[in-house]
Amino acid sequence: MFQRSHLGVAAAAAAVTTIASTAAGPWAADTLLITGGRVLAAEGDRWLEGHAVLIADGRIEKVASLKTIDVHPELLHIDLDGGYLVPGLIDLHTHLMLHPYDEASWAEQVLKESLGLRTARAVAAAKRTLEAGFTTIRELGTEGAGYADVGLRDAVAGGIVPGPTILTATRALVASGAYGPAGFDPRWAIPKGAQVVDGPDAVRRAVREQIAAGADWIKVYADYRRRPGVPATPTFSPAELEAAVDEARSAGLGVSAHATTDEGIRRAVEAGVRTIEHGTDASAETLALMRNRGVTLCPTLAAAEAIARYQGWAPPDPQPERLRRAMAMFQRALAAGVRIACGSDAGVFAHGDNARELELMVAGGMTATEALRSATAVAAEVIGKEENLGRIAPGFTADLVAVSGDPLLDIAALSRPIVVIKHGHVVVDRRAIPAQETRAELLAVCQRVFETLAEGRIDDLKELFLPEAVVTFELRSTDKQISIGVEQFLERARGQYGPDSSFREWISGKPTVLVDGAIAVVWAPFLLKSAGLWATGTDVFGFLKTDGHWRISSLSFTNRPI
């Protein structure tokens, strides 16, 4: 029986190190060079071919032909291999403190989930959001979780937990008798999911409190249901909305208004809010007013779709009323020339699925170019960061996302980022993670090695290896590590295995497969019983792809009795 023992690795281990370092992230490097991709032009409407992006100290330093860039050997380098590089995405309407309503209803989350649990969930949600390519978000209300968004924002900014850059709206403002949780007997004073205020003075005081506590934006609910089951009506008076806008403006903050009724939207726009959230029943006149005042709409189509799904709707059934109204409003706003930014209301649905909003905008008639702009340059302008975010241009913050498909042709390509860079640091690099088919193909070759060996079909084994392949292992008898050519390995194996052989090995545990272009490594831990004894070890297969086939370029293994 062929004794297997101890790991001796050469080329395969070197390949793992190289690939693993790109897969781990974040890199702490100050400079980074991105090549081999198509770079979205600063205007956001076309691709720059043959351009490289040089990043230094978290900013984009150069977008130019590689020939004009002075390449230092120690520069960290990412080859996008034909991918598409776009600015980091921005979602102007998220709720990290909420999780999908089909997991727990909004009221259940607000009333029953502890602040600690909600904050912990928000930490995980922030990571997922960033990994989905959203490098900046505007958190529009903690829904009863107080000022937890401020702490999370600061933890992300301080590098304590991963996440996008967060703009906070803290508690949000609602009028008495509106908002939820609702539907209780009037004897009970049930806390609301936002700060309750009445009258311009109280509104002004609450805005001051929220700003002092760390708000970057002020959110008001300009209309809402007064009790369950009735339609929404305007709540805050024009004077109350004006007080909110005036006080926020004094501190240099913008106001965002949740508004679904025509009257609520109009009051908010006239009071000077910067964004309208949802906007469902905006009339043609109100949409014209929004356009003329430069007020931006966050349509939250993805939330409308998610709620329809939670109520049992699924395509191809006709869209339910609520979703139809949201899509119809979006089309009217688009036709009216209202500025539209990506605001998804993630939290109603899963964090990380934010790009669904852009797909629905395109389904509603927006071009893919405009949809991408709504989550980049347009959104950056809304938050006053048009000189820093939303474009790939020198001087801009190095927030970047690479995808493998062309998002100007198919916006859905944005839902699968392969690389995410925030402030010049690589936070996601999925280039080395193989497609399922490649993984299956590689594991099938490994499996064939074991089967063919076990059955003593040594000649069949040969075709799985490259002629120059090397096999490395340790001789049990001498404790010496040896490396031999594949021919020699097969000679040793010949006669050792056959129909009566007790040798039988299967990949067990979880094999790790890394692929980088035409090079792959399979790291396969195993548990083996032979001659009545258990042994454990690891097979490391190095692969090269030649003429469309993966063949083994190196094999090394360990084997220890247990």
Which residues here bind Zn ion, judged by CB under 5 A? 345
Report in angstroms how near the CB of residue 149 gets to Zn ion at its nearest.
Answer: 13
Nearer to Zn ion, 153 or 278 (CB): 278
Burial status of residue 62 (CB atoms within 10 A of its CB: 0-12, 13-18, 19 or more): middle
**Residue 343 C-beta: closest distance to Zn ion, Å:** 8
Positive/negative CA dihedral, 304, 310, 316, 319? negative
**Rounded to an integer, what distance in angstroms lies between the CA atom of residue 471 and that of residue 555?**
5
Beta bridge partners of 400: 87, 421
Query: CB 234 → Zn ion: shortest distance, Å?
Result: 18
Helix, coil or strand: residue 185: coil
Nearer to Zn ion, 133 or 343 (CB): 343
Beta pairing, strands 400-403 & 417-422: antiparallel
345 or 381: whose CB is closer to Zn ion? 345
The closest of 364, 441, 472, 389 to 89, measured between CA atoms, is 389
**Residue 171 or 423 with smaller CB distance to Zn ion:** 171
Of the pair 299, 407, the CB lying nearest Zn ion is at 299
CA distance 322 to 278: 12
Residue in this structure with the two tokens 């799904």, named with its chain if needed: 309
Smallest gap from residue 346 Cβ to Zn ion (A):
9
Cβ closest to Zn ion, residue 13 vs residue 169: 169
Q: CA-CA distance, 505 to 528, in Å (whole number)?
A: 6
Residue 277: CB minimum distance to Zn ion, A: 6
The type of residue at 5 is S
Q: Which is nearer to Zn ion, 34 or 126 (CB)?
A: 126
**Judged by CB, which is closer to Zn ion: 247, or 345?**
345
Q: Toward Zn ion, which CB reaches closer, 242 or 345?
A: 345
Q: What is the closest distance, in whole angstroms, from the C-beta atom of residue 230 to Zn ion in the complex?
A: 20
DSSP 3-state of 393: coil
| Least CB distance to Zn ion at residue 428 (A) | 26
CB of 219 to Zn ion, least distance (A): 9
Q: Which residue is nearest to Zn ion (CB)?
A: 345
Q: Which residues lie closer than 8 Å to 432 by C-beta, 6 or more apart?
A: 19, 22, 23, 514, 515, 516
Smallest gap, in angstroms, from Cβ of residue 436 to Zn ion? Answer: 35
Burial class (CB in 10 A: 0-12, 13-18, 19+), 518: exposed
| Segment holding 298, helix H or strand E | strand 296-298
User: Hey, what are 388's tokens?
Assistant: 């820093």
Close Cβ partners of 207 (under 8 Å, ≥ 6 residues apart): 173, 218, 243, 244, 247, 248, 251
